[in-house]
Structure 1
Amino acid sequence: MSKIYNKSLVGLTTVNAILLVIIYVLYYRTPISNNDRIKTKLNVHKIIIDTESGKIAGFNQKINDDRMQVFLGIPYAEAPIGKLRFQPPKAKQQWNETIDAVNWPNPCMQPDQSLQLNNYNFSEDCLYLNIWSPGGNDSLKPVIVVIHTGAFVFGSASESKYNGLFLAHHAEAIVVTFNYRLNFYGFFYRSNMTDIVPNVGMLDQVEAFKWIHKYIRYFNGDTNRITLVGQSSAALSIGMHIVSPLSQGLISQAIMMSGSPLQVNELNEPEQVDKFWSNYLHYMNCYNTENMIDCVDSKIAKNRSRLVSMEMVKQLADDKLFVNIPIMIDGHFQPNNPIKLLNNLPKKNLSILYGYTNDEGSWIAMLEDREQFGTHIRSHIQSLYQAMSTAELFLNKMFTSLPINKTKIIDYYLNHLLKIHTTQMDMTTVDTIILHRIITNMLGDRYIVCPMEKFIDSLLATKILPYINIIGNTKVILEPVYFGTHSNVFGVANGWDPVTRLKCLPFLSYDFYARILNYSSSSSNMSSYKFGIAICTLNQLCLDFKGNLSRILTSIDRAIELGASIRLGPELEITGYGCEDAFYEIDTVFHSWQVLGEILKKNYKNIIICIGMPVIKDSCLYNCVTIIYNSKIVYIRAKNRLAIHGNYRENRYFKPWNDGTNGSISWFELPPLITEICEQKRVPFGDGAIIEIKDNVIENNDLQASLGVFRIGFEICEELWHADTQSNRHFGLRACHLVVNPSSSYWELRKLDNAYNHVRSVTSKTGGVYAYVNNIGCDGGGRLCFYGRSFVMENGNLLSMSNVLSDELFDEVSVTVSAVDPINIQQFRLQNNIPIRSCTVSEKFIKFNDSKPYENSSMLYSNISDVNTITIENCGFFKNWNFEIPQTNIAKNFVGLCPEEEIMRYCSLWLWDYLRRCIPGGIKGFIVPLSGGLDSSSVVCIVYSLCRFLHHQIYSVKNQNVIKSLKSILDIEAHELQPQDICQRLLRCCYLRTKFSGQDSYDRAKNLAQLVGADFQTYDLTDIYQKIIDTVPLGIKTKSTNDVTIQQQNVQARIRMVLTYYMSECNRLVLATGNVDEALVGYLTKYDCSSADLNPIGSISKNDLKRFMIYSKQIIPNSEQVLDHIINAIPSAELTGQDQKDEEDLGLTYDELSLFGRIRRGIYGTYGPYGMFCKIWNDRHADHVRQVFNGQMVEPTLLASKIKRFFTLYARNRHKQTILTPSLHTETYSPDDNRFDHRQFLFNTKWPWQFEQIDKMIEQILNG
């Protein structure tokens, strides 16, 4: 028995794919019935349906220009109250009065949940259904019966998301939803209460199906085409009905998402269900009462939340990691377990669509948001490990009652996912994201994926044939999809993937797995030829041509190994992006050609290689991508839009090619050294051409052959963000299948996924594949850290992304390959009616022949400015991808990062890149002047985070480059070192006290250093300080005591800087500890501890640092008490004593500094004093303003005084920016004077004109 696959669905957006599948299932799988048509009668206000049992009144509802018939709250059974409580539903008998079906029905009894209901009157009288119909008398319509989800705990057909109007209209089908008894009232069971029938909630569902079979023809519904649809527990219900003898003959087709009856198989024995409800009675304190039911009723009547909640299910089920309210084997609805029931089913033609997501475990494991997930999982695992000494025991608990070899599970999850080869794990050193991944994969596979696959496989054995199968890389909540609500889609629906099925191996037999592989190799793809796209994220170093070449060659070799047809590298990868004025040097361009020559000499075959490099043409320097095929240059693509914002200054070195709106190309004369290698003299140069591939390996009977050609368009970095440049033309006019974008995007807080979101939006509208390739790390430009996260997006869905997990963060070369099927793109564009206006483009071709490229072209010495297509014929790009993709090449889910994780990752990476590249200079680590305050403590925690990453790279990832570099730094093998051991050798902390220092700050500094394992040194500089004060008289030079005090503070601060450098022993990088808010107003001393070699926090706000320290409590073992003391301490420089407070000195709070900084330059605009006052006053009701002022209304006079104070300090101290230590750029309001924030540093600090305008505005405000 084999599965039939509809590969035309692959690549659609999830919404359209599901809708198309539903329509296909409904209309084309079963013949139209010849039942008599039942006419409806339309009144002015109501529609009357006259059935054999009585009349039902509904109403018309308009959608677009069509009228839909709606019936809400039709009773399908008698109210289950009185003697009918805990009894099977009693069918609705004939009724004399017309049923007024115009109001949403009562939801069944359930605990308080965050549901969007159209009726909040919870009641036991709830057995009602709703019908939406297109109306009309022309033909019978298919019927979609949607079962609501909610783990049998909560949910209702009255939820807004189950409004079937959209689906009924879009699919031209009858849509039915219904309520059924839930929770205590639907599934309560005690073995000693013979008058209580188990599973009455499921019997309600059966009764609803019977009603639909009997009456749906009166609504023009076809009883031979009834499709059940459900997700999660609703899919579980559908599986139960497939095997239940009570439901036979009631189901034609089914669509099941993320659920099957096997996932509750552990808890359906009567004794287990009895124990579940016994636990509930104990919880309610009703177990030993005379009448337990009355006791429960009375308590629920007072507080409905006493019903079983999702959180309570785990406890009642003896802390299983996830269960629904159990459906027991009852001898009636479920006479036996589902597998045994399947074996006794009559043969029938049942069509099933089933699917699940790649991230099922997240939905199971957590109710908190993703940022809290790591903490929850970490604590959960640690608590388990306190009771169990090995990973095997943990997994035994998780997979209890499964008769399998636990070793296989350990091998798979721990070896392949967590990459830890020991059963005794130190959970404190495991990355939060990795913990997230391993737990979600375990839970998803255990409770959703593998039970579902086993159920479907069992169905195959009974000849109940699932004719469509989608395994999703989508992360989607299914119910809103049915009704047209937008949903988050992270990925694309895939065909059969043997690697996905590999996860089920531990739970299933070997012969089962062998048959799966057989399916995948024989019938999974309508076309097995795919185009492999390799995105190569590189950590390059400016002007390190030898190292850069090595990393480029490594990436090409890996791309070929992984079956790629095209290799894409980042922008300017040969030179490094941050060469700055070195781009003026002719050497830089010359060496770039030499490196390209070395790549050409390798004679790579049957792969397109895109290399970023600078090129001089006609005395202008261009930022280019050189496209190579078979060691010949096909095309040099020049950048047409330059980045000149933020830290970018591309127009200082490069010229744009054209204006970016009308592409053009011309001939480029190659340097002699290249001509000698590749025997080419001229190649096309410019931005106007796409590459068109005509493949010679695709068989004529393969679907790919019908596509004709495969088109590739090119963008470079900045062009992505301009609507009038390339991507719209590539996709919308030229029908490109693939657009590639080599980029160099640097990290800024909270902007990590801007490119991802933008490309997702573009490709979801136009269709097509977009490959975005970014640099990673610090390439020598100093103040920037590129964030990697290269990705491939297809039709708005993510295929792959690099550097998602911290495993890859320190990789100098990261290669990810995605196999693209062009049929997906064509189908997406066809089915979404996306217009391709190729008729508006006059195509002019030039052919590339790798034997003698362009040499035989008649246009070799003619004008080719209007050529817009370069054709490569008789190539072998498309490869047969009917093989198991290597584990390292599986497309990764999108993983977003919270700001605290961003700081932890990219500050660590930035420091590591600096440190390892200083090894030739004898650098052995870092030194931090640790004061015990928040800022210096944050720097220490960042260095510890780096040590933690290094430990993981050594033990788990086994990154040889890291191991080699760390050995050179530490002078010892690091294999036996824990994170604290690495930190002890890598980090020195010095506490430099004076007579003004407090004991609390010393204790905080010492405790933190000991906590992370750092070398801690302390020195009292009071004698040195006092000697200077006594030796150098100041009385004749000053006029006030205050001036002397400031000078004395400055002396202390500067001594600390000198001593820190002395204690660095000339082999440690000195780390500064000043934040962006203090730098902005100059709350620092020139040449104090703000002066150092590097500053990892120099453009991070105090508030973000505080949040990072809170986050660090998850990362540093046993750190809560130590870090809480630091977090809760009042910020103080302690230059005049322990009572000195930073915010009092400033006259501003750190919240106000952060707000003013973002308004001066940042996310809220760019304003001077007067503009800032007007901006904040106009936004005084906005949350971001009210939060700063503690929710109070802003008073104009106070606001003005604070803004004047801010700009006075800013103007007075701007000169300090000119000498500040290079800091990692992280914020849009960074005051970095060197690159980002170009300002004068000599001001009229009184701002007379601007402040006068503020005063006039205040007067207007106060006078009304």
Structure 2
Amino acid sequence: MGRKVTVATCSLNQWALDFEGNLERILKSIEIARANGAKYRLGPELEICGYGCADHFYESDTLLHSFQALRKLLESPITQDIICDVGMPIMHHNVRYNCRVLFLNKKILLIRPKMLMANHGNYRELRWFSPWNQLRQVEEYFLPRMIQEVTGQDTVPFGDCVLSTKDTCIGTEICAELWSPRSPHISMGLDGVEIFTNSSASHHELRKADQRVNLIKSATTKSGGIYLYANQRGCDGDRVYYDGCALVAINGDIVAQGAQFSLNDVEVITATLDLEDVRNYRGELCQPHMSRAGLLAVGLPEEKWTGGFSVASERRCRQLLHCLHCPLYVCAALPGCRGRHQVLEDVHRVVGDDSYRPQHPRELCSRIFTTCYMGSENSSEATCSRAKDLANQIGSTHMNINIDMAVKGILSIFSVVTGKWPQFRTNGGSHRENLAMQNVQARVRMVLAYLFAQLSLWARGKPGGLLVLGSANVDESLTGYFTKYDCSSADINPIGGISKTDLKSFLLYCVEQFQLTALRGILAAPPTAELEPLTDGQVSQTDEADMGMTYSELSVIGRLRKISKCGPFSMFCKLIHMWKDALSPTEVAQKVKHFFRMYSVNRHKMTTITPSYHAVSYSPDDNRFDLRPFLYNTRWTWQFRCIDNQVSQMEANNPKQ
């Protein structure tokens, strides 16, 4: 006789926030599972939005777009007549959970929140999610209207339970729960659950896949049962690689297993198994320990399902000068403050002279602070003069270095190898040539900065070396408006966490308090990288033109992105009201889209950003504060379409007179 069941599990190459692509891959896996006769399909953890959303999980957009994708899944004919088990974030009673949603024929059967979180090593789940700690308790979850319209349901079960049918019972584990000494499968097995599922986002480490297999084999060796394991595959936007290896096990044996390093975006593993094998295995081994006490089960309505197997179970003067007076005056003022004896000892150690006593800030500055103006044929005389005037006022040891020889030397090497010499755009070059010509200047400055930091004191017959200070501000970092490994690369960046607006205010303060009048010229000059040719001796390139938005606009966008937890769509919805007197909805949409394209294209630069003092709450520093992916699908297809639809709706409701 026997009771045969066909089940499917999969590995998917999901991307963080790639709702369009993620949906396509989920649907493809369900289609394959159905074609192979499966009545149940299991997918990876948080597969709808992608596991690696990190701080994007704070955004209401991530929740909204996940439900939009879920609606499309519910409506799709591909998902009919098969139980679909998908992962997404859900907020219940204002608490955010990592959940599984199980549905069949446009009805949600159960939402099962994760109970044991991964919060060590590469994982930070407790930063974004709360664990469901109400064991064997279920509450009613009120569905969003967009889902109610499809399912006809107002509420569905939410919590720790299993799904029971006429033929069998399924219980859910989510990733780290398998690794816990209190794994749910232990009690579920003793309660009679026959099929265990695990939706995972388990990254690759050497020998880790073998550990996973052994854990799954052990789970079903002890108490019998069928175990389905699904996993993420690929990068998903951060530093780890998810290695797939979806598998099916029964009674301690692996009966089907997917590839570990496949290049396929979708891989589905199916197996047909006999439930009687589970029951026979348990008969002698587990019978004395098994109990049905306290088990909560949600049943699958018989009229909703027909067929052989019926089961259910459910986010960088810009040359160093205008930004370095702060550490200088901190150091200079210290000998007069409390603890001056300790400070004096520090000064002796820094200058290498135990008899030295500074008499004036400018004197001390000349001993410990070196400034370099690294100009080129593209630099203006005005900027050079401002740098020299400021250096004179603060007392730094100042050098004027021309980098043209170094730049031409590097370009000569390129020309010898390729036979080509790139040109600036103004000289007929392409966009790629123009960008490369700017970047080579910026990176040469970094190399020279470190060379002079190491050897300039040696050249003057003095001991020691110098630290290199960086000069990228927080607003530039938001859009990646600096060259990777250029003068943004340094040992420490005094202004890395400060906005352009606050920097201007601080410079005005220095003018008034420290009489650094040279700063007035710097404040009056438009910010510019001075990496493109001059026009009639004047600067034609400005930062704001290059970035496509003003620093003031960037500050607003930065705060909305981080502090207000806005994704593209919700940011647009806020800005059409904040900027309604200055910009049309279409213009706001263009600004938002441009920002997010630039942000996502250049986010990888944050992985190498110079350490800086944390000064604003919208810093994009991903090393400790702004934990988000550094690899994105930069088209933002789903999110931008939502913005376009909103613009169209507004235009239709408010036609031009």
Q: TM-score scaled by structure 2?
A: 0.50
Q: Does 1 or 2 have the higher relative contact order (CA < 8 Å, sep 6+)?
A: 2
Larger Rg: 1
